[in-house]
Amino acid sequence: MKKRPFGLAVAQLGPIDKEESRASAVQRLHEMMREAASRGADMVVFPELALTTFFPRYWMTEQEAQARYFERTMPGPETQILFDTARELGIGFYLGYAEISAQGRPYNTSILVDKNGDIVGRYRKVHLPGHSDHKPTAPFQHLEKKYFDVGNEGFFVWETMQANIGMCLCNDRRWPETWRMLSLQGADIVALGYNTPSVNIHWPEPTHLRMLHHLVTLQSAAYQNCVWIGAAAKAGLEDGSHLIGGSVIVAPTGEIMAQAQSEDDEVIFCQADLALGDTFKQHVFNLAAHRRPEHYRLIVDQVGAGEPLGRAPVD
């Protein structure tokens, strides 16, 4: 039995300075968690890499990055308060951070924590953007492919807090495969954190396109997969590099139901009717009735773009 409506909050973060401590960043998250709970939230979505600056913009050794920016335990000493407060207030949360696994591998990770303060799910980012080499002429680096391993676990939905909740991270949202993996597991809500630079380091892309792509992608994904999306940015001018804001809650109708107004710490909230997606799931996007996987083989059989396969009809 699903809880309807579901109090969905998104807590956008303003910039985190390179020198800002974990404790300070966690304090900001903690304040927003209390605000979200006071507004009736069942869950609050925090950004990707929400404990530090977006360090993949800097060139350094993997060892240095791991020493400064990664977590070896979760909860750890600084983050324990978030778990304690979740249990105290009865609010779940999604949190992105840089993880060193038990096996010593580095991942760009998010966790899903329930109202008891227990970690019920973990997601390790699959679609790492950027590059692993040093680009001396770029205005900044985007070294996610250097500092992180590709997520080794895949895409999942968890049944928790009386809803089916999926997770993804940042660049994953641009890949329709992400969303389909989650709707095939019956997701009602997808939580997403992101850090999206305003500047494309590869070509002078008009800045307004970055926000257009973000919003259009989420609206389309919510609609086509009949899910609510809670998307939390780290935003604003961080160490001289600008990140877009635009944290949003999007309904399965494809409509934006709440949007952040600032590029700073800001909570947005929506009483999400989880049944709103049901009519889409039963008709236009009844996956069982309409999907034709026999015609989708290339999606798993081929990685990159190949040649046109069309031939002239023979009868």
By CB under 8 A, name the one of 85, 220, 259, 271 that touches a second copy: 220
Q: Does 249 bind a second copy (CB under 8 A)?
A: no
Q: Does 108 bind a second copy (CB under 8 A)?
A: no
Return the exposure string of 101-131: e unless at least 16 CB atoms fall within 10 Å of the residue's CB, then b.
eeeeebbbbbbbbbbebeeebbbbbbbbebb
What is the pairing mode between strands 241-243 and 266-272?
A: unpaired
293-296 long-range contacts, CB within 8 A, separation 24+: none
Q: Does 297 bind a second copy (CB under 8 A)?
A: yes
CB of 164: closest distance to a second copy in angstroms? Answer: 5
- Of 16 and 192, nearer to a second copy (C-beta) is 192
Q: Which of 144, 146, 170, 238 is catalytic?
A: 170
Q: Does 5 bind a second copy (CB under 8 A)?
A: no
Q: Is residue 146 among the annotated active site residues?
A: no
Whole-angstrom distance, CA of residue 197 vs CA of residue 111: 23
Q: Is residue 170 among the annotated active site residues?
A: yes
Q: Does 19 bind a second copy (CB under 8 A)?
A: no
Q: Which of 125, 146, 234, 281 is catalytic?
A: 125
Residues in 154-193 at the binding interface with a second copy, rule: CB under 8 A = 154-159, 164, 166, 171, 174-177, 179-181, 183-187
Q: Does 137 bind a second copy (CB under 8 A)?
A: no
Q: Does 279 bind a second copy (CB under 8 A)?
A: yes
Residues in 61-100 at the binding interface with a second copy, rule: CB under 8 A = none
Instruction: Enumerate residues 6+ apart whose C-beta is below 8 A from 105.
Output: 149, 152
Where would I find the beta strands (DSSP E) of the chain?
6-12, 43-45, 70-71, 92-100, 106-113, 119-124, 157-160, 163-169, 189-194, 228-233, 236-238, 241-243, 248-250, 256-259, 266-272
Q: Is residue 3 among the annotated active site residues?
A: no
Active site residues: 48, 125, 170
